[in-house]
Chain A
């Protein structure tokens, strides 16, 4: 007999040809003619396609790539003896990568602007990550 096995979300993850009848809540009998329901959701009305949920996006770049995003202001920021600039550079430098989605990042970058550095905060945070920028 042919069965579709569903997970806790009623999604078919297994299609099986077994020896006999199986009476189990997660086993849905299939006819031989029925197309494979793998990946579909079982409802009372039958099988329906599942719209995939968007994957959580992780936006990490290397520390070097993060500094490169300062553009022409990079060296001025790295050499700046202002305590705020020093603190921000040091804070970034000790990390393995920079998480561009951190909620405090815009505020940190704004502090650099406030002490006179001309950087594009939006571009630094939102620009598409290139392969060479990956940690």
Chain B
């Protein structure tokens, strides 16, 4: 059975992989990485953790986890945004929440 690497000439098409986790302290931020060629590089948001809060009657969603996304990729960093969301507490207070996520930066030849 043929593999992707065989189709690509027998070697790996991947030059490097960097990975990590982010627990945001703000809605947007920038993560530093080792230098890559941005023309040959993809950033993956590989997993997120968040919650949805509903009123006790179960009818109205008053808060949902935000889904952070990549806003920019530079040679030595990538930026994300959209990592915060608000939930209304039973006391009526509004709480700011941040969505933790994992990432991988894959550079190809």
Q: How far is the CA of A101 from the CA of B1 in the complex (A)?
A: 69
Over the window 1-28 of chain A, the binary record of Cβ atoms lying under 8 Å from chain B Cβ atoms (1 yes, 0 no) is 0010101010111111111101010110
B29 touches A38 (CB 8 A): no
Tell me the nearest residue of chain B to A7, going by C-beta: B25
Interface size class of B (residues with CB under 8 A): 20 to 34
Over the window 26-60 of chain B, the binary record of Cβ atoms lying under 8 Å from chain A Cβ atoms (1 yes, 0 no) is 10010111110000000000000000000111000
Min CB distance A50 to B, Å, is 10
B33 touches A16 (CB 8 A): yes
Q: Give chain A residues whose Cβ lies under 8 Å from the Cβ of B61.
A: none
Q: How far is the CA of A108 from the CA of B55 in the complex (A)?
A: 31
B21 touches A14 (CB 8 A): yes
Tell me the nearest residue of chain A to B94, going by C-beta: A58
Min CB distance B87 to A, Å, is 10
Interface residues of chain B, those whose CB is within 8 Å of chain A, are: 16, 18-26, 29, 31-35, 55-57, 62, 76, 88, 90-96, 100
4 nearest A-B pairs in the assembled complex, by CB-CB distance:
A16-B20, A129-B92, A19-B34, A57-B93
